[in-house]
Structures are given as C-alpha cells and as structure tokens.
Amino acid sequence: MRIKQIHRNIGISIEGINLSRIDNNTFQEIKELWMKHLIIVFPNQDISDEDHINFGKKFGELEVHPSLSHRSSKNPEIYRVSNVDEEGKIIPNKETSWQYLKQSWLWHTDSSFRKIPSNGSILHGISTTNEGGNTLFANMYKAYDDLEESMKQKIKNLKVVHDHDFIISLSDELSKRKNKGNYDKLDPVIHPLVRKHPSTKKKSLFLSPHTMVKIVDIDDSEGRELLDFLIEHSIQSKYVYKHIWNNNDIVMWDNRCTMHSVEPFDNNTIKRIMHRVTLVGDQQPMMA
C-alpha cells in the first residue's frame, strides 16, 4: 500500500491495492487508517458493483436507500448518485428524481434522517467530471475542537430535529409539486448537536444541513442562526478536502465525523455516474 496525505487536516489516498481482493490484514489496516484520517481515496479501482458491495459488506450490513428511483435495479444496495438513468440517458433537469438527487449539492451527512444514521459511505466514480462535480469533505472533529470554549458550553446539551422531508422542502421545484417522488416513509428523528464517536471516542459537530429542521427547545430563528454559524465555521477550507474525481476513484468517508457536498456541474450536458454503498449504523449518535 502506498499512502499519501491529501490535505493537512483530513484524508489520505491509498494506491497499490485492488479492493476486489484484499486480505484480512490489509482490511484491518484500512479500517485503522480510516478511523485516523476520516476519508480514504482509492484511485484506479476498476471493480464491479458486486465487488464494491462485497468490499462494503466487510464493514457490516449495507443500507437500502429510501429513494426508490435511485436504487440500482440489479443491486438494491447500490444507490445511484447520477443524472443518468440506467439506460444511459441524461435525466431531464425538471424530473423529480434528479431534483431530489440535486439536493446532494447542499452540505449534508448521509442518512442523518435515520434514527441510527449510517456509519460510512463508499462511493465509486464510474463516469466523473472535473467541470464542477467535485466533492467536498469537512472534518467535523477539528471544526468542533477549534470552537471557543463558550460556544462548546452553549451547544453541549443541544439536540436537533432531522427530517427526510426537509430535503424535499429545500428544493424550490419539489416543494411546490404534488408528487414529490417515491420514498420509504420516515418519521423525524432527534440527534445530538455534538456527538461522540463510538470508536475514536472523539467529539465532533453533527451537522447535516439538508435534514436539520430546528434545534429542540430553542426559538426557531435563534436556533437557525446558531446552526448557520456552525455550518459556516465548519466549511472553512482549513477543514475541507476537495476531491477532484478521476474515473474509478473510490472514496470512502466516515459519516460520524464528516459532512460533504457536491459542487454543481452542468447536469443537462455532462453525464456524471457514481455508485454508492452505505454502511448501516450500529448505534444512535451518542451525546458527547
């Protein structure tokens, strides 16, 4: 394995391995490096969806995403992050399924709408672009650590309502439509604003702007102001790695201590196809 640092505060790349055939020692090593660096980029992984799924399953069970129109018809564990349908045609901009997916351009943490959110995600760039479409990842441990002591005190016991429907309400297009798309039913959930990672025991900010409706027991506008402050603080470039994709990059990230967003690209002309598997969480986020 050749390991390189890719940003001073977050992420490494690993070359010289093939994720479709790794032995147990290599797997253990990857797991440790992942906990330490939060995100790992694996370039040159020309592997099948089945190999992708098998690599994911080494970490545990895989999620099936609540949005029916983004599941791969062959493998329900593959979430198709794509503006191209399974026949290879670009999805028209106004189409509900694209309008939903476009919400990944906003900062978020995967599956924050679940009672037990995902542990991590593994994304395979199948057809990538550098004309936009880069993915940004923020180190939420470091964002938390650098807060002033008074802010840490202020937020330490706060809880946030997260709701899958909030993603839809943030879309100008979908919010005014009667048919907002086809999703599994999910009730709102409450998560701590500062969480403790079950493996590293470190504290981080738990933000997922696209599902965060409000802070519990705080006036709505005051809560919104506080969340906006924390979001702006966390997305400073010192905390953020920008991934510029090559085809067959695989990027994996820990959803318990990072958040991410996608930079806009011209979805009417550029085909961007990414396949994701999502690791089922093992426990509710712990208050720090």
Q: What is the closest distance, in whole angstroms, from the C-beta atom of residue 101 to ligand OGA in the complex?
A: 8
- Of the candidates 265, 248, 268, 247, the one whose C-alpha atom is nearest the C-alpha of residue 89 is 268
Q: Cα separation of 246 and 224, whole Å?
A: 37
Footprint on residues 119-148 left by Mn ion (CB under 5 A) = none
Residue type, 268: N
Amino acid at 59: F
Is the separation of the CB atoms in 81 and 276 below 8 Å? yes
Would you tell me which residues interact with ligand OGA (CB under 6 A)? 81, 104, 110, 121, 123, 135, 260, 262, 274, 276
Cα separation, 12 vs 2, whole angstroms: 10
Q: How far apart are CA 238 and CA 241, in angstroms?
A: 8
**CB of residue 19 vs ligand OGA: minimum separation in angstroms?**
17
Q: How far is the CB of 107 from ligand OGA (least distance, A)?
A: 10
In this structure, the number of other CB atoms found within 10 A of the CB of residue 125 comes to 23
- Interaction partner, residue 279 (ligand OGA, Mn ion, none; CB < 5-8 Å by kind): none
Cβ atoms of residues 64 and 39 within 8 Å: no
Q: To the nearest 10°, report the CA torsion of 48, 136, 63, 25.
A: 60
The footprint of Mn ion on residues 95-114 (CB under 5 A) is: 110
Is the sign of the CA dihedral 100, 105, 111, 114 positive or negative? Answer: negative
**For residues 81 and 212, which CB has a smaller minimum distance to ligand OGA in the complex?**
81
Binding partner of residue 123 among Mn ion, ligand OGA, none, CB under 5 to 8 Å per kind? Answer: ligand OGA
Least distance from Mn ion to the Cβ atom of residue 110, Å: 4
Separation between Cα atoms, residue 5 and residue 1, nearest integer Å = 13
CB-nearer residue toward ligand OGA: 121 or 204: 121
Task: Compare residues 174 and 215 and give the one whose CB is closer to ligand OGA.
Answer: 174
Q: Closest CB to Mn ion among 110 and 254?
A: 110
262 binds, among ligand OGA, Mn ion, none (CB under 5 to 8 A by kind): ligand OGA
CB of residue 39 vs Mn ion: minimum separation in angstroms? Answer: 12
Distance in Å, CB of 100 to ligand OGA, minimum: 12
Q: Between 128 and 155, whose beta carbon lies closer to Mn ion?
A: 128
CA gap 45, 273 in Å, rounded: 15
Residue 213: contacted member of ligand OGA, Mn ion, none (CB under 5 to 8 Å, by partner type): none
Of 53 and 123, the one with the shorter C-beta distance to ligand OGA is 123
Q: How many residues bind to Mn ion according to rule CB under 5 A?
A: 1
* DSSP, res 67: B
Closer CB to ligand OGA, 38 or 123, in the complex: 123
Task: Tally the residues of the chain.
Answer: 288
> Residue 81 touches which of ligand OGA, Mn ion, none (CB < 5 to 8 A by kind)?
ligand OGA
Strand 212-215, strand 159-162: pairing: antiparallel
Is residue 80 within 8 Å of 71, Cβ to Cβ? yes
From the list Mn ion, ligand OGA, none, pick the one residue 39 interacts with, judged by a Cβ distance below 5 to 8 Å according to partner type. none
Q: What's the min distance (Å) between Cβ of 262 and ligand OGA? A: 4
Residues contributing to the site for Mn ion (CB under 5 A): 110
